[in-house]
Amino acid sequence: MAKLNGKVAVVTGGSDGIGLATAKLFVAEGATVYVTGRRQERLDEAVEEIGGGAVGVQGDVANLADLDRLFARIRREQGKLDVVFANAGISGVATMGAIDEDHFDRIFGANVKGLLFTVQKALPLMKSGGVVVLNGSMSGSKGFPNQSVYNATKAAVRSFARTWTTDLRGSGIRVNVVSAGAIDTPGMRRFVGGHTEAAEAQISALSQSVPLGRFGGAEEVAKAVLYLASDDSSYVAGAELFVDGGVVAV
């Protein structure tokens, strides 16, 4: 039997990368999946790529009105919600002296504010057996240079999982974090400059810092999200699952 058969799930930021790979896997495992993205054109393409069982809802998680519209639609069409993958987020690089208010507000707005209110507004639709998976990062446990704001947002995500597990005691709703490392996604490709020879050389050099010696794939992270979202992890709560090739562990 499919691991998410009959379940209703939402994947924020599901139009590419880890979110898209996870939405595809959720649908393959029997779920009806609501996918969000900020760009309507790309979202439409993603929904077509995901296939049956996917519904696109354009919106920005940092905009609370967009979140209200998302969950009102899920309530109207499904009447329940079983799985939340709070995946949407952005990154950014700035030296300590170059951090400005816009840099701080954009990254905290998406990665912390948006994630918090995604979960808060989803909870009234959830019941015992529901699952929340937060998209963290190994950056929340490391001190990567010139990424202090981004690193801090991912440390906050890890903290949310601990506290919300306590807050939801007795509800039967589990909260966990999946924290990816170096994953070959469109976002990573934008960071290194695409698929140029220089970009490939940079990825090759970065891979040397990974104990497994390579970048991961979005599908590998999606499988970890599926584990946390399914009954396979029924006694796992408040945990952080690293999918980083061993970087944080060693």
Active-site residue list: 150
- Tell me the pairing of strands 83-86 and 131-137: parallel
Sheet holding 32-37, edge to edge: 54-58, 32-37, 8-11, 83-86, 131-137, 174-180, 240-243
148: its two tokens: 């202090």
Contact call for residues 138 and 244 (beta carbons, < 8 A): yes
Contact call for residues 24 and 85 (beta carbons, < 8 A): no
d(CA 199, CA 5): 40
138: its two tokens: 């190994």
Question: Which SS3 state, helix, strand or coil, does residue 56 take?
Answer: strand
Contact call for residues 86 and 132 (beta carbons, < 8 A): yes
DSSP-assigned beta bridge partners for residue 133 = 85, 176
d(CA 70, CA 154): 24
CB-count burial class (<10 Å; 0-12, 13-18, 19+) for 223: middle
